[in-house]
Structure 1
Amino acid sequence: MDVKIDSLIPFDLLRTDLEHVFSVVEKNGKVVLLKDNKPAYIVLKYDEKDIIADNVADKHANYTLQEAMKIVLSEVENKTMHASELADEIYKRRLYLQKNGKKAQYTQIRARCGHYPELFEALPGNYIKLKDGVE
């Protein structure tokens, strides 16, 4: 964690100059409160984007993309879906998310078929089929 030197503030300053403490938080995004010249607390500026990204990551199962593809395809008629619909369904159910929290693109799903030919069959028209006998 990078901390600017002016973000190191004695804990006692909370009692005497709270406004200054929060002005430093506003400026630098965080403050490290020191007790006996050692870091004791961190005060962070609220950032909704960080909170949302953390919550999204916490709420989805840790499936690989091919596992998520198997789950969804095993539940649909003919075990076949268009790659873009499959990507949408995987994202909607939060079975797999990229590290940045975004959904897998249909091109990524299509490519995964080539890496796992024992599981999936790529059909004309960008349809993906779970092979028979795979569950």
Structure 2
Amino acid sequence: MEVSLESLISYEKLKTDLDDVFEVVEKNGKVVILKDNEPLYILLKYDPKAGPIEKILAPSTPKLTLQEAMKLVLKDTEGRKMHAAELADEIYNRKLYLKKDGTQAKYNQVRARCGHYPEMFEALPGNVIQLKEGVE
């Protein structure tokens, strides 16, 4: 998300000059509230053309299975192989797959999934997972 410098507002200003904060929102469509020079809140102007508010605010849940996410990451990786822990981290960082409780799949789950799909993946020594040739 791109934010102009004038859209950065201190937490203190939010508490003391709310009208000015809303003027900035009207002008720029959003403001980022900073506390101790770190982003704390983002205030956005609602756009009715974007659809119902429930749809806009609904959390986006990844729709990929773990093996689909593994395949996608490995296809983008040089040599089409990666350590299971790095693969799990990259899947999580890209928000490609989350467990039902919303947490990251661990490396041992990635390694186990590799064993369940031997036609797609090969487990190499050192906990390295490789996407097999011909898998697209």
Runs of 4+ in 1 over 6 A off after TM superposition: none
Partners of 1:117 and 1:92 in 2: how far apart? Answer: 25
Partners of 2:93 and 2:61 in 1: how far apart? Answer: 10
Gaps of 5+ in 1: 1-54
Partners of 2:79 and 2:105 in 1: how far apart? Answer: 22
1:52-84 per-residue CA deviation (whole Å, 9 max, x = no partner) reads xxx9x8324210000000000000000000000
Identity of aligned residues (%): 65
1:35-57 per-residue CA deviation (whole Å, 9 max, x = no partner) reads xxxxxxxxxxxxxxxxxxxx9x8
The within-5 A match list for 1:63-82 is 63-82=64-83
TM-score between both structures, scaled by the size of structure 1: 0.57
**Structure 1 letter corresponding to 2:133:** D
- Greater C-alpha Rg: 1
Gaps of 5+ in 2: 1-55
Partners of 2:133 and 2:59 in 1: how far apart? Answer: 33
**Structure 2 letter corresponding to 1:120:** F
Q: Does 1:111 align with 2:91?
A: no
TM-score between both structures, scaled by the size of structure 2: 0.56
